[in-house]
Amino acid sequence: MVLKACRSYVYRIAGITALVALLLAGSVSGKTWTVDDSGSADFMKIQDAINNASSRDTILVYSGTYYENVFVNKQLILRGIDNGGGQPVVDARRNGSAIFLTPLSNGWNELEGFIVRNSTASIFWTNAGIRVSSSNNIIRNNHATNNSIGIYVGYSRNNTLVNNNAVNGSIFPYYAGFGIILISSSNNRLIANNASNNGNGIDLTQSSNNILSSNTVNSNLIYGMILQYSRNNTIYDNNFNNVHNAWANENNYWNIPKQAGTNIIGGPYLGGNHWSDYAGHDTDGDGLGDTLIPYNSSGNITYGGDYLPLINP
């Protein structure tokens, strides 16, 4: 148990270091372009601005509804700006993804401040409100709603997803909507996201060495979190309240060593996760469940489990 906890802690520190590097890397940019569907900016369409921009330029998109499929094919800072009409909306009109960070972008993009909606389901599970197929990107403060998949990260590494909402995933016949999916992706960080009111909240398939912390995963109809053939992921300080909270068939780390710090439900220590169906007790009053056997989410976590589940203060 100590070895597992220590390895989890090392992964967490490495993730924080990489996040700082990403934030610093994103601070250098070139020319700034503006987009407004009212016609009062450089462009009326987001894609036109992308096509005219150079790598590391910044594109500011003002309030409005943009009926587009946005393809990012170069390194850009793409930022939604609320100038009085709310966050800008990218609506895919049930035709592909709303915003796609393509492999041609070579990564290192920043995507922030958009509402993305109405992407459509696809047989290969790739279309999404935000689709990411490049590495080293920062995706933050976006709201994905009414998509087959809110955010899809596929075959990429070192992306950071912070404070995004992936909610109300559309349910199609034979297809359950997903909040966030990682497929064959490693060393990514999912921090303080909300994946709620979907068919499934967060799904990792063949994805390893990722860090998931401080996420809210509630009211999903099937599973809150699924880890399929995914191992060595560190999952801690998340809030799970679903019909079935988690399912996993490989070894992962569901807590870090106990340490002082306000956790996701307001307790005084960081450790494991908060589980709506955990029935254990806290005998010493530290806000962490006292269990000799790791909590395995009603038997659905095949290997290991949470040694330090969070208890409501």
Q: Write out pLDDT tens, residues 193-233.
A: 999 999 999 999 999 999 999 999 999 999 999 999 999 99
Confidence grade of residue 26 (pLDDT, cut at 50, 70, 90)? very low
> What integer is the mean pLDDT of 250-256?
97
Query: How confident is the model at residue 170, as a pLDDT?
Result: 73
For the cut 60, the answer to whether the pLDDT of residue 234 exceeds it is yes
- pLDDT(189) > 80: yes
pLDDT above 80 for 29: no
* 98 within a domain of the structure (yes/no): yes
Tens digit of each residue's pLDDT (9 = 90 or more) over 48-72: 999 999 999 999 999 999 999 999 9
The residue-averaged pLDDT of 187-191 equals: 98
pLDDT value for 292 = 84
Please check whether residue 289 lies inside any domain of the structure: no
- Domain boundaries, position 133: 2-260
Residue 5 has pLDDT above 70, yes or no: no
State the pLDDT at residue 277.
92
Q: Is residue 256 part of a domain?
A: yes
Report the alpha-carbon angle 11-14-16, nearest 5. 110
Name the domain count of the chain: 1
CATH of residue 76: 2.160.20
Q: What is the DSSP letter of 26?
A: T
The answer to whether residue 179 is domain-embedded is yes
Does residue 232 sit within a domain? yes
Is residue 290 assigned to a domain?
Answer: no
Query: pTM surpassing 0.85?
Result: yes
Q: Which residues contact 305 (CB under 8 A, 6 or more apart)?
A: 254, 293, 294, 295, 296, 297
Q: In this structure, is residue 292 part of a structural domain?
A: no
Predicted pLDDT of residue 294 = 93
Average pLDDT of the chain is 90
Residue 291 has pLDDT above 90, yes or no: no
Give the mean model confidence (pLDDT) for residues 32-59: 97
- What confidence score (pLDDT) does residue 8 get? 47
Calpha distance 264→258 (Å, rounded): 14
Give domain status of residue 96, yes or no: yes
How do beta strands 259-260 and 269-270 pair? antiparallel
Going by C-beta distance under 8 Å and a sequence separation of 6 or more, which residues neighbour residue 234?
A: 8, 11, 12, 210, 211, 212, 213, 252, 253, 256
Res 11: pLDDT: 45
pLDDT at 2 over 80: no
Question: Could you tell me the pLDDT band of residue 1, with boundaries at 50, 70 and 90?
Answer: very low
Range name among 7-11, 75-79, 101-105, 153-157 with the lowest pLDDT average: 7-11
Give the per-residue pLDDT at 126: 85
Query: What are the tokens at 43?
Result: 């462009």
